[in-house]
Chain A
Amino acid sequence: MSNQNRTIYGGKVNREKPINFVFNGKSYIGYQGDTLASALLANDVHLIGRSFKYHRARGILTAGSEEPNAIVQLGLGARTEPNIRATEIELYEGLEASSQNCWPSVNFDIGAMNNFLSRIFPAGFYYKTFKWPPSMWLFYEHFIRKAAGLGQSPTAKNPDRYEQKFYYTDITIVGGGISGLLAALGAGRSGCKVLLIDENPELGGYLLDYNFSINEKDGKKWLKKIIEELNGLANVTILKRTTAMGYYDYNYLTALEKVTNHHVEFSSTLPRERYWRIRSKKVILAQGAFERPLVFADNDRPGIMMASAGQKYLSRYGVLPGKSVVLFTNNDHAYLTAFEFVEKGAKVTVVDTRDLLNARISEKCKSLNITVYKSYSVIKTYGDKKVNRIEIQQVDKNQNQLTGEVENIHTDCVLMSGGWNPAVQLFSQSRGKLKYDLKINTFVPDKIIENQKIIGSNNGQFNLQENLNESFEAGIAAANELNFNSVEKVNWTGKEEIEFTHSDVEPYMLGKKKVTKGSKHFIDFQNDVTAADIFLAQREGYISVEHTKRYTTTGMGTDQGKTSNVNALALMSHIHNKPVDEIGHTTFRPPYAPQTIGAIAGRSVDKLFDPERKTSMHEWHVENKAVFEDVGQWKRPYYFPQNKEDIHQAVKRECLAVRNSLGILDASTLGKIDLQGPDAAKFLNMIYTNAWSKLEIGSCRYGLMCNEHGMIFDDGVTSRLGENHYHMTTTTGGAARVMSWLEEFLQTEWLDMKVFCTSVTEQWAVLSISGPNSREFLKDLTNIDLSKENFPFMKFKEGEVCGVKARIFRISFTGELSYEVNVPARYGRYVWEKFMEYGKKYNITPYGTETMHVLRAEKGFIIVGQDTDGSVTPSDMNMDWIVSKKKEDFLGKRSFTRPDTVRPDRKKFVGLLVNNKKTILPEGSHIVEKALKQPPMKMLGHVTSSYYSPTLGYPIALAMLKDGVSKMGEQVVVPLMNGKIIEATVTDTIFYDKEGKRNNE
């Protein structure tokens, strides 16, 4: 039998359009317009999943985004999504969903034994049990993660596309219920640009489910006309199926639009979801309210749901979730649902916590044959996978005691209503302050911080008449405040048969002073937090509301406690005998509801995740099988393996080629800054530690930059091109940082200095040729006289190379005779190819960054950021030679004499040679005074660079060593991770060509 719980008529589903879907492997039929939840209820499926901790049977509690229980695994394969609320899933043909957190099946779940063992799983169980020993936590965590958790994340890559949209508007209205619609109408008629966001597929909110009248006529038709008018306004944009997720400073909102989630076929043209980033001059919050559950023993069984949810299933979907229904309420408003159920053929019994009942309601109950138990409470429920019986007992509220006989009611559906809580999540995210309202016993908005209005039941106002006119006027006023013309006000007369006016908060099962063993009074359904857990947290001293939340995990599920928060606070207030105001509330943070990471990432995935920077020779490197390394955003050749060489073989070959003949490196990524202006030399004097005033035109000089703490932060060669013109180079990774550093001082300290800085990194391709044959090689390709006399080391010349205008810098990072040939970037590949062709006779060898590192380490040249780490001074690097003694001032100078920087035992830069001539010390290894069996050992320093040197035939290392300079020739020990202890000798940092003859050739 299919759709056995569907009413004969009524509801807004399209009964002409049946839809096939599968839940837990079984096929069902629903109708167009159903949600997965309504279709399951229609088919008498109440058991949806198992709870988080105790694996208790759980059904459908609500009919909206606040749902804590009915969360399912939706879809299959790469598109599967965990933790999706069945109450929000629009049914589509072929939908497949399954229960979560159960094994082997939702009907027979092994984990349910946790329910019977619950005495050993109280709040804080994990903290207490798995705390010791600390080293075991990673081991425990593996199993805990497996046992807990909800759905399964997909293992394959998501094939869907997600888009982002940046949007600017005058007014954003969140919530498409009656308040939001009328505010949109007021603002829309005024002519301003309005964005209306609603999370449902249909506008109208609460009024879609309840009967009301406008000007004494059926309200539904009026509502339709309002929506029609809004749809016709060109300045009003309506986003349905869109949830406002975050509310940040200056009215910046994020919202997630489900574009094709509800489609049968996934679209090739439309994204699955669209993530909106919205900036608006004004925001109007009209999100409405959530109905509050009541807390009683075993209040979590399938078949127990919110009264408003029952109302919605019945009126919107034509589903009668039970035939013998109990309404458990503490307010008048929920009686509307009792009447609706009777009208659709159910037998209804009401259990009301109050002793006085409005005469009109009393009479109507009598006429509809509804039994009302006044001043009663539900004290326990029964039923294995669905509620089948409840116990009720009279409450003496003054004594807070249960009195009289326990009575039994057989039932198949319990509707509960504990009043309504305004959905203040977004308001709180916008830093609005809440106050506690004693009439409806919940938190309502108080003080607004942003340029914002909050209206309707979201503002704690539940009177329809008031809401109609106030909301419309709020829209007009908002437009007015943005200087749009006023439009005429309208007076509507709206009426509901019964309105929500006030309710108590039932903090804890009525009439009981302490928790009864065995039965569970759930506060937070999703995280399985019971009243007993809240009691325990208070007993154990977690009495701040933030502590209670974290200790018990109440409000920490994917539902963020939309149904549980106020009850938890009320219970704390009850325990401490303090007003709820004084208990306070926890902080609401984005996102408002779970959202896919894919939507946040948008198109910024794969290749578009981060820009890739490539030199003009990049494609040549690719064609020649370079292995690449990421240096910041740059792709640099790491090494160029030939045949089946591994990295060691390739690097060895490349190194020897440079030392013996000719190597070529793509150095285009080097940071390059063009400095011009009459004060350029003066500026360089302040930026670098050495002196620049006397640098001649056509000369190059190496420089170190320090920050004001005296610590090295970049280095490079700067050349004087003209009277007021310099070409500065920086490290590849430091280019942007140095540029900003220069600008900072020019713009904030030395505003009178006349210097312009221009980044030219990408304007020049740099071909660095190095090796004893480089002069012989280059001389045939350029019109520049390369003779030693005409073009010595550390000089710069302009001319032509391979017919292309070029700048050549005679500088060396390898210790060999070298020329850095700079050509306009667009000629980079052309000149590179010419070089490769002409260089054949010298066995020209392209080399990558690894060879570059080895060669410079053989020469003891530092790499800023590898050998230095932001805590070393030039003196620490034995580079006092580059620090001017004469200059009065430069950045960092004053800090060189701070007590800490002149400490005699600072670490100094040294070389290390392992005694066994074999072991390549891992970079980062600790150098200790004495190797012990286990830490702690007294540390003396660490290895910063370490390689096998093909030139020398044994490993070399650079290190920072305490008082290292005075330790030359001494022995140190380096314990490795594998337990081996390596002995090494402290040496000078220059391992090869100490006199520097080779680059001076």
Chain B
Amino acid sequence: MFIINCPYCGERDQTEFTCHGEAHIARPDNPSEISDEEWGRYLFFRENPKGTHFERWTHDHGCRRWFNVMRDTVTDQIIKTYKMGEAKPEISNE
């Protein structure tokens, strides 16, 4: 059970949050113009990395805000949390 640092509320228990899968998948601006394959990629294709993963979470039992989490899927260490709209952090190669 993680402790998650909500960018709006601070550190809270994981039970207050929900994970919504991979982050930084923008909805295409022009859905009607793109191919089935491109649309399919937006709908169905997700990364499953061993290591750093960017994911969307909501603080359901708190401020109800969406935000992004940078998490290591091996250690479950949360490297960073940041607000929607903020740039995707760099992955350090340590």
A binds B: yes
Residues from chain B with Cβ under 8 Å of A898 in the complex: 36, 39-40
- Say which residue of B3, B28, B36, B56 sits within 8 Å of A250 (CB atoms): B3
Query: Does chain A have a CB within 8 A of B92?
Result: no
Extra 6 A-B pairs, beta carbons < 8 Å, given A250-B1, A747-B84, A888-B32 = A249-B1, A250-B2, A279-B13, A743-B58, A744-B20, A751-B84
| B→A interface (CB under 8 Å) | 1-3, 13, 20, 26-28, 31-32, 34, 36, 39-40, 42-43, 56, 58, 60, 64-66, 75-76, 84-85
> 28 A–B contact pairs at CB < 8 A?
A248-B1, A249-B2, A250-B3, A279-B3, A279-B13, A708-B27, A708-B43, A709-B43, A740-B60, A744-B20, A747-B66, A748-B66, A749-B26, A749-B27, A751-B85, A888-B32, A889-B31, A889-B32, A894-B28, A894-B34, A894-B39, A895-B39, A895-B43, A897-B36, A898-B36, A898-B39, A898-B40, A899-B36
Looking at the complex, which one of A248, A748, A889 makes contact with B84 (CB distance below 8 Å)? A748
Query: Which of A252, A744, A889, A897 has a CB less than 8 Å from the CB of B66?
Result: A744
A249 to B14, alpha carbons, bound, how many Å? 10
Residues of A within 8 A of B66 (CB): 743-744, 747-748
Most buried by A among B27, B56, B64: B27
Contacts of B39 in A (CB 8 A): 894-895, 898
Residues of B within 8 A of A879 (CB): none
CA of A250 to CA of B84 in the docked complex: distance in angstroms? 25
Hey, which chain B residues are within 8 Å of A894, CB to CB?
28, 31-32, 34, 39
Q: Which residue of B lies closest to A749 (CB)?
A: B27
The residues of A that contact B3 with a CB separation of less than 8 Å are 250, 279
B76:A748 contact, CB within 8 angstroms: no
Closest to B34 in A: A894
> A interface vs B, CB < 8 Å?
248-250, 252, 279, 449, 708-709, 740, 743-744, 747-749, 751, 888-889, 893-895, 897-899
The 9 closest A-B pairs by CB, nearest first: A894-B31, A747-B66, A252-B1, A250-B3, A248-B1, A749-B27, A748-B66, A894-B39, A249-B76
Write the nearest CB–CB distance from B64 to chain A, whole angstroms.
7
Q: Which residues of A contact B27 (CB under 8 A)?
A: 708, 749
Complexed CA–CA distance, A449 and B74 (Å): 11
Which of B31, B58, B75, B85 has the most chain A CB atoms inside 10 A of its CB?
A: B31
Closest chain-A Cβ to B25's Cβ sits at a distance in Å of 10
- Return B79 CB to nearest CB of chain A, in Å: 14
Tell me the bound Cα distance from A449 to B72 in angstroms: 13
Q: Which residues of A contact B75 (CB under 8 A)?
A: 449
* Complex CA distance for A743 and B66, rounded to whole angstroms: 8
In whole Å, how far is B63's beta carbon from the nearest beta carbon of chain A?
A: 11
Question: Which of chain A's residues has its CB closest to B75's CB?
Answer: A449
A900: nearest chain-B partner, CB-CB: B36
Contacts of A709 in B (CB 8 A): 43
A743 to B64: give the CA distance in the assembly, Å: 9
User: Could you say which residues of chain B place their CB within 8 Å of the CB of A252?
Assistant: 1
Shortest beta-carbon distance from B81 to chain A in Å: 14
User: Which residues of A are found within 8 Å of B34, using beta-carbon distances?
Assistant: 894
With both chains docked as a complex, state the minimum distance between the C-beta of B75 and any C-beta of chain A, in angstroms. 7
Chain A residues within an 8 Å CB radius of B32:
888-889, 893-894
- State the Cβ distance, A897 to closest chain B Cβ, in Å: 8
* CB closest residue in chain A, given B60: A740
Closest to A710 in B: B43
Closest to B31 in A: A894
Q: Which residues of B contact A748 (CB under 8 A)?
A: 56, 66, 84
* Most chain A CB atoms below 10 A, which of B1, B2, B42: B1
How far in angstroms is the closest Cβ of chain A from B3?
A: 5
Minimum Cβ distance to chain B for residue A254 (Å): 10
With known contacts A748-B66, A894-B39, A740–B58 Cβ distance under 8 A: yes
> Chain B residues near A449 (CB, 8 Å)?
75
What CA separation (Å) do A899 and B37 show in the bound complex? 11
B36–A747 touching, CB < 8 Å: no
- The minimal Cβ–Cβ distance linking A242 to chain B, given in whole angstroms, is 19
